[in-house]
Chain A
Amino acid sequence: MNLTLKIWRQKNKQDKGRMETYPVSNISGDMSFLEMLDVLNEQLINDGKEPVAFDHDCREGICGMCSLFINGEAHGPGREITTCQLHMRSFKDGDTIHIEPWRAAAFPVVKDLVTDRSALDRIMNAGGFVSVNTSGNTIDANTIPVPKADADKAFDAATCIGCGACVATCKNASAMLFTSAKVSQLALLPQGKVEAHDRVLNMVHQMDLEGFGNCTNTGACEVECPKGISLENIARMNREYLSASVTGE
């Protein structure tokens, strides 16, 4: 198929950036979206032009690196998939496709479609862990049975890939879904309960410092999240936060 691509080009953080138009031809439905961009880039290089910068690594939906806003949707059409799992068979001949980077104050553009998401790491550094040192002498793993239902819920929350689609989708650019996924995972497990209060207070505090917006419960994040992280996690985090604030620090 032949397509018209409208792509955000921005040389660096300082540059203002603009949309540019590129035609691509002979795209097969079996190609992934990123392979289609590979074709474009190969063409640009051969024409002596600068290829389009975009983030990607695993190309199988798990590293969270890819991050494109395609036709107004984070990770494009299709539910519970990342950009790299999107295949061209979702488009048809003659389509025009708009491709933009994640847009959020906390995610400045590095170049073209690449943004800086290190704010998410800093939220994690503030409390997204269990304070246990490495030692060969932690208790045997089976000494702490975890009810399967809790283990499964914790697992579901833990599958967040830290892509930031939730932030990019939210009209307030809130990072609540991301933060609540980690808070929930650890709050649901006995190992994480000990520090649950400090964790939620510190992570939420850092989230605010980074300039992410407030959550107004529109639920858009859940719809676009490639891993189906549920809004229940936000509710759980709010409960945790409330109880931590009430008990004091």
Chain B
Amino acid sequence: MSLDAKIPAGPIDKKWTNHKNNIKLVNPANKRSIDIIVVGTGLAGGSAAASLAEMGYNVKAFCFQDSPRRAHSIAAQGGINAAKNYQNDGDSTYRLFYDTVKGGDYRSREANVYRLAEVSASIIDQCVAQGVPFAREYGGMLDNRSFGGVQVSRTFYAKGQTGQQLLLGAYSAMSRQIGKGKITMYNRHEMMDLVKVDGKARGIIARNLITGEIERHSAHAVVIASGGYGNVFFLSTNAMGSNTSAAWKVHKKGAYFANPCYTQIHPTCIPVSGDHQSKLTLMSESLRNDGRIWVPKKKEDAEAIRAGKLKPTQLAEEDRDYYLERRYPAFGNLVPRDVASRAAKERCDAGFGVNATGEAVYLDFASAIQRYGKEQALVHGHDSNDKALVTKLGKEVIKSKYGNLFQMYEKIVDQNPYETPMMIYPAVHYTMGGIWVDYNLMTTIPGCYAAGEANFSDHGANRLGASALMQGLADGYFVLPYTIGDYLADDIRTGEISTDLPEFEAAEKEVKDRLAFFINNKGTKSVDYFHKRLGKVMWNKVGMARNAKGLSEAIVEIREIRDEFWKDVRVPGELNEFNQELEKASRLADFLELGELFAMDALQRNESCGGHFREESVETSGEQEGEAKRDDANFAFVAAWEYTGNIAESKMHKEELKFENIELKQRSYK
């Protein structure tokens, strides 16, 4: 199959409008006889389900949590971008488009990114209309903050709980439709497989997680909005249940999987504390607005700190290495995530790490406290030389901006970040790769769509902060509701799809057999035992720095773990009951396959771009020496993988990326 991205003709700023004008529509009466399944109720799925139901379609929505409001989007902290230019600092649709393409290291599709920037402003309007309580200034207007990799303030936020407030907005829109019977909500249901009839997506097989029952659900189109696959690393900032299964099942049924190796490793997370660690906690990027990142200049000092003989606060200013400010004077602590993460790893690998494991750097608020404190003292007519007062006032400002994050840090680490710098280290956070989709967000399976983090569409090789929320809501509120009609217009006479079709029966049987296998396997090792092993291989060999040797080893090791898993996994309990180990086993089986493709993709891409850093591909001279080196001549394409029955033989298709509006440049943050 050749890849057609279906990018509309015309100038970039007219494409979406023209496309919308030419798209087929479904009239209201016909919408009532069309069913759509939406898997996932995060920002992407929740907003899609609500909007599609409002338009008149019958929606069936699925999530594995006990309520749609608990999707992983709830955990997003920092904010959501929109080109509103409320701050009058030169922002525009074009600039957001440009920043996103550049931030993604020129590995995304121009037309999609432009559309994203174009609809971004409507997202804020829509959310405010729903009652989302964004932060406001004293005049009652919406407030903004700035995020890494850009030079304007375009991020809207609700303290450190932006994802929560946006998701509750989408959830409330869903609730309204659930109340009206336009959305049938299936909580605690997990999609186990996609059902195709005559080559089209026509339904899913789902497991009722409470009773264990396997159910058939049919529809005229299926939307996959099941989030990202960062948990392939075992440890990540994703929620414990985040998984790749829905996306992976769709892939195995014929949807191409794009750029699986593009992973975002977030620079500011709480470091690992021990083997018991079950997940990692993000400290929002917004902290980099005020926090300065450093390690000791001298190795002896770093060693003394690690041994507990020296405190960071005892180190004189001249003995500290603010390495981001040193290496990237133009962006300083606000360089994009991939750059900041690699720089931290570089310092720690060189022996300057500051915690017991040597894998942590400082994020220090002392200068921000002084700066804000002085300002407050002056504003309120106090003595700005009174050190104690200034410190007190400064801490109050920091508390009002980041209070909940500081509290979270203190709860976990048991240290007071107002008094001593935070310790942070990079952690897996987001996956830019995902199911390949065309401009309409349709996968290579007709009638199967992918939205939000589950698709690959807008962030190229690196995502800018506060852009995932924007993309999820753009897909669900403003893109899918239009594009899906274009496809469904041909289905108005189809009538209800019967779940008695042999395709449903076959898919159901496969699911039942697989689950029964786990229960009957009676091996000796738990699911987590294998998941942790997979995670170690991924982190060590397919993590922040990758090379051909490590990747080739990883491919073999992942296969070995997978074989052992199938032979020796122990899943207690029964099929027909609430069984969390069975859920985990089924998800891990998919991660173990995805992991291999992930490493294959990383091996194939012999260039460094965005979050994908190949040690073989760095600048060897000049001002950019040591920085990642992209190879546009050979790698300006999307790698879209086709499943052929065996992961090792997956076939790579290339979607060449054409840059007609933005000149390809080296990404410099110097």
Contacts and interface: CB of A to CB of B under 8 A. Distances in A.
A65 B70 contact: yes
B75 to A, nearest CB: 5
A11 B172 contact: no
B277 interface: yes
Interface in A136-158: 136-142, 144-148, 151, 154-155, 158
Contact of A136 (B69, B74, B86, B122): B122
B506 to A, nearest CB: 30
Nearest to B273: A30
Given A110-B210, A145-B140, A158 B133 contact: yes
Contact of A124 (B128, B140, B175, B570): B175
Interface stretch (B1-9, B408-416, B539-547): B408-416
Contacts of A158: 133, 158, 165, 168
B501 interface: no
A10 to B, nearest CB: 11
A93 interface: no
Interface in B146-205: 158-159, 161, 163-165, 168, 171-173, 175-176, 178-179, 185, 187
A174 interface: no
A240 to B, nearest CB: 15
Nearest to B141: A142
A141 B128 contact: yes
B131 A125 contact: no
A129 B172 contact: yes
B495 interface: no
Interface in B563-601: 570, 572-573, 577-578, 580-581
B528 A42 contact: yes
A99 B346 CA distance: 44
B276 interface: yes
Given A46-B526, A121-B175, A125-B175, A35 B572 contact: no
B433 interface: no
Contact of A159 (B135, B161, B175, B281): B161
Interface stretch (A55-63, A69-77, A165-173, A229-237): A55-63
A120 B187 CA distance: 13
Contacts of A3: none
Contacts of B74: 58, 62-64, 161
Interface string B528-542: 100000000000000
B583 to A, nearest CB: 11
Contact of B66 (A59, A65, A128): A65
Contacts of B75: 58, 60, 62-63
A191 B239 contact: no
B176 A129 contact: yes
A39 to B, nearest CB: 7
Contact of A148 (B84, B140, B168): B140
Contacts of A140: 125
Give the interface size class of chain A: 35 or more
A155 B133 contact: yes
A226 to B, nearest CB: 11
Contacts of A127: 179
B357 interface: no
Contact of B65 (A11, A61, A63): A63
Contacts of A114: 578
A201 to B, nearest CB: 14
A49 interface: yes
B154 to A, nearest CB: 13
A6 interface: no
A180 interface: no
A146 B70 contact: no
B124 interface: yes
Nearest to A56: B240
Contact of B281 (A60, A128, A129, A162): A60
Interface in B380-429: 408, 411-412, 414
A217 interface: no
B129 A51 contact: no
Nearest to A191: B131
Given A132-B130, A134-B477, A89 B414 contact: yes
A142 to B, nearest CB: 5
Contacts of A45: 526, 570, 572, 581
Given A62-B164, A65-B65, A129-B130, A142 B142 contact: yes
B276 A31 contact: yes
A51 to B, nearest CB: 6
B66 A130 contact: no
Nearest to A140: B125
Contacts of B273: 30
A179 interface: no
B278 interface: yes
B460 interface: no
B10 interface: no
A164 to B, nearest CB: 10
A135 B74 CA distance: 23
Contact of A111 (B135, B179, B187, B577): B577
A118 B408 CA distance: 28
A189 interface: yes
Nearest to A86: B411
Given A42-B528, A57-B239, A129-B175, A141 B84 contact: yes
A116 interface: yes
B164 A159 contact: yes
Contact of A134 (B54, B528, B572): B54
Of A51, A125, A140, A147, chain B has the most CB atoms within 10 Å of the CB of: A125
Contacts of A59: 239-240, 278-279, 281
Contacts of A48: 572
A51 B528 contact: no
Nearest to A126: B179
Interface string B90-128: 000000000000000000000000000001001011111
Given A57-B239, A130-B172, A162 B164 contact: no
A135 B51 CA distance: 9
A83 interface: no
Nearest to B48: A134
Contacts of B124: 141
A85 B279 CA distance: 12
A81 interface: yes
A154 B122 CA distance: 22
B465 interface: no
A42 B526 contact: yes
A159 to B, nearest CB: 6
Given A35-B277, A142-B141, A186-B131, A62 B161 contact: yes
Given A142-B142, A147-B140, A158-B168, A87 B159 contact: no
Contact of B278 (A34, A137, A144, A147): A34
Contacts of B408: 60-61, 85
A125 B241 CA distance: 25
Contacts of A117: 66-67
B136 A38 contact: no
Contacts of B129: 130, 132, 138-139, 141, 191
Of B124, B164, B276, chain A has the most CB atoms within 10 Å of the CB of: B276
A245 interface: no
A166 B166 CA distance: 23
B285 to A, nearest CB: 16
B435 interface: no
17 contacts: A11-B577, A30-B274, A35-B277, A38-B528, A46-B526, A50-B573, A58-B74, A62-B75, A63-B75, A110-B210, A110-B578, A120-B67, A126-B179, A131-B176, A140-B125, A142-B142, A148-B136
Given A125-B178, A155-B165, A162-B67, 5 more contacts: A50-B573, A59-B278, A63-B72, A129-B176, A132-B126
